[in-house]
């Protein structure tokens, strides 16, 4: 199934079901008023939502309308909790060098996850206001999952069954604040503005074989000011999403609607490019001896779209945003 959220004046928006080809949508509020409610009542609502999705794809819904991704909010405009991992070892090690930090203990065997703000997620095409260009404005392309309720100390196998949706994310960063906030040991606040989401959240079956080993085995194509920046592949996650979920729930339950991000998609091969500027800057320092790429300026645009290995567009739609002065 594919879902999106349209504005209706409420904090959570209104739920629509989107066709497989992303051309049509139908209001689903008679089943669930919004996507958060649907996830919170997944056992009860998913069958009815599947039936509506099947009718929409069969062309049997009289009140379907043209789907406009630019009108969408984030699939979940807010969430009970947003947890972001650093599950791509290549990116994590490059960032250690970028911030001149000590190696994280057990980095390759224990997931690293921080808790971010989840009260104000941004839609796929809105302009993103930032306070200052001096803050080191950066994008970060990621994949993420949305869970139903997760019990405390859940096993990895059972954690996999709590994943009901997959999303595509731009986890904005302000790099100038990162080193100090990391050094405090208290996590990110100013370094992490509100994250943005592609318009469509999908159930894992929509990825077909690309949902494999608890990972999104797709390229994340990123352009900056219409220039190719990278297309790293999601298969190189060191930890699977079920492993991340189980780790986050080791000492507490997670309520339905929580989101866990993969961290910046990153590949060992330099040919894959990058999904964030900070990573490119570190690679330049290593390979060329100097940093050549600046961070974003007001007016800059970033575009992100997942693609299957055969080149087909992914199911999430496109994130395409411009940075503006606050």
- Residue 179's pLDDT is what? 84
- Examine the pLDDT at 102 and tell me if it is beyond 80: no
State in Å, rounded, how far the first CA of the chain is from the last one: 36
Phi, psi of 302, deg, nearest 5: -130, 140
Q: At 274, which helix (H) or strand (E)?
A: none
**What's the mean pLDDT in 302-317?**
98
Mention the CATH class of domain 82-325.
Answer: alpha beta
Angle at 126 between CA 122 and CA 127, to 5 degrees: 110
**What's the mean pLDDT in 259-283?**
96
pLDDT-derived band at 207, boundaries 50, 70, 90:
very high
Q: 0.75 exceeded by the pTM?
A: yes
- Examine the pLDDT at 110 and tell me if it is beyond 70: yes
**What's the mean pLDDT in 105-112?**
89
Distances (CA, A) of 105 to 109, 199, 248, 265: 9, 37, 17, 21
pLDDT-derived band at 3, boundaries 50, 70, 90:
very high
- Which residue, among 203, 276, 153, 166, has the nearest Cα to 46 in the 3D structure? 203
- Examine the pLDDT at 187 and tell me if it is beyond 90: no
- Residue 98's pLDDT is what? 65
- Residue 233's pLDDT is what? 98
Q: How far apart are CA 133 and CA 300, in angstroms?
A: 11
CB 249 within 8 A of CB 159: yes
Q: How far apart are CA 256 and CA 149, in angstroms?
A: 4
Q: How far apart are CA 265 and CA 140, in angstroms?
A: 8
pLDDT-derived band at 99, boundaries 50, 70, 90:
low
pLDDT-derived band at 92, boundaries 50, 70, 90:
confident
Size of the chain in residues: 326
pLDDT-derived band at 266, boundaries 50, 70, 90:
very high
Buried b (16+ CB within 10 A) or exposed e, 299-319: ebebbbbbbbeeeeebbbbbb
CB 276 within 8 A of CB 172: no
Indicate the range of 31-35, 72-76, 174-178 predicted with least confidence.
174-178
- Examine the pLDDT at 250 and tell me if it is beyond 90: yes
- Residue 242's pLDDT is what? 98
- Residue 186's pLDDT is what? 86
pLDDT in tens, 39-87: 999 999 999 999 999 999 999 999 999 999 999 999 999 999 999 999 9
- Which residue, among 171, 144, 4, 170, has the nearest Cα to 72 in the 3D structure? 4
**What's the mean pLDDT in 155-166?**
98
Handedness of CA 85, 201, 320, 232 (dihedral sign): positive
pLDDT averaged over the chain? 96
CA atoms within 13 A on the CB side of 65: 8
- Residue 167's pLDDT is what? 98
- Examine the pLDDT at 232 and tell me if it is beyond 80: yes
Residue ranges, comma separated, of all CATH 3.90.850.10 domains in the chain are: 82-325
Handedness of CA 295, 299, 300, 303 (dihedral sign): positive
- Residue 107's pLDDT is what? 85
């Amino acid at each position: 199934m594919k879902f999106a959220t349209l504005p209706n004046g409420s904090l959570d928006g209104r739920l629509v079901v989107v066709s497989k080809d992303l051309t049509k949508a139908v209001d689903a509020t008679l089943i669930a008023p919004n996507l958060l409610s649907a996830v919170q009542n997944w056992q009860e609502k998913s069958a009815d939502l599947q039936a509506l999705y099947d009718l929409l794809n069969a062309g049997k819904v009289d009140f379907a309308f043209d789907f406009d991704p630019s009108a969408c909010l984030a699939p979940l405009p807010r969430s009970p909790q947003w947890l972001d991992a650093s599950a791509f070892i290549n990116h994590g090690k490059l960032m250690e060098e970028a911030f001149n930090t000590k190696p994280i203990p057990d980095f390759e065997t224990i997931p690293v996850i921080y808790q971010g703000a989840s009260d104000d997620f941004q839609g796929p095409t809105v302009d993103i206001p930032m306070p200052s260009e001096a803050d080191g404005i950066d994008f970060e392309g990621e994949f993420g999952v949305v869970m139903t309720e997760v019990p405390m100390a859940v096993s990895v196998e059972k954690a996999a069954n709590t994943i009901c949706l997959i999303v595509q994310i731009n986890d904005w960063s302000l790099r100038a604040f990162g080193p100090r906030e990391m050094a405090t040991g208290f996590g990110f606040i100013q370094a992490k503005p509100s994250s943005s989401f592609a318009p469509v959240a999908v159930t894992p079956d929509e990825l077909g074989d690309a949902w494999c080993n608890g990972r999104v085995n797709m390229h994340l194509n990123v352009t900056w000011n219409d220039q190719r920046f990278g297309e790293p592949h999601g298969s190189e996650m060191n930890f699977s999403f079920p492993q991340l979920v189980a780790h986050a729930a080791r000492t507490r339950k997670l309520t339905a609607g929580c989101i866990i991000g993969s961290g910046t998609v990153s590949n060992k091969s330099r040919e894959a490019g990058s999904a964030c500027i900070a990573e490119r800057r570190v690679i330049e320092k290593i390979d060329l001896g100097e940093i050549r790429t600046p961070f974003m300026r007001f007016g800059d645009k970033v575009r992100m779209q997942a693609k299957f290995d055969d080149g087909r567009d992914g199911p999430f739609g496109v994130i395409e945003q411009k940075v503006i002065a606050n």
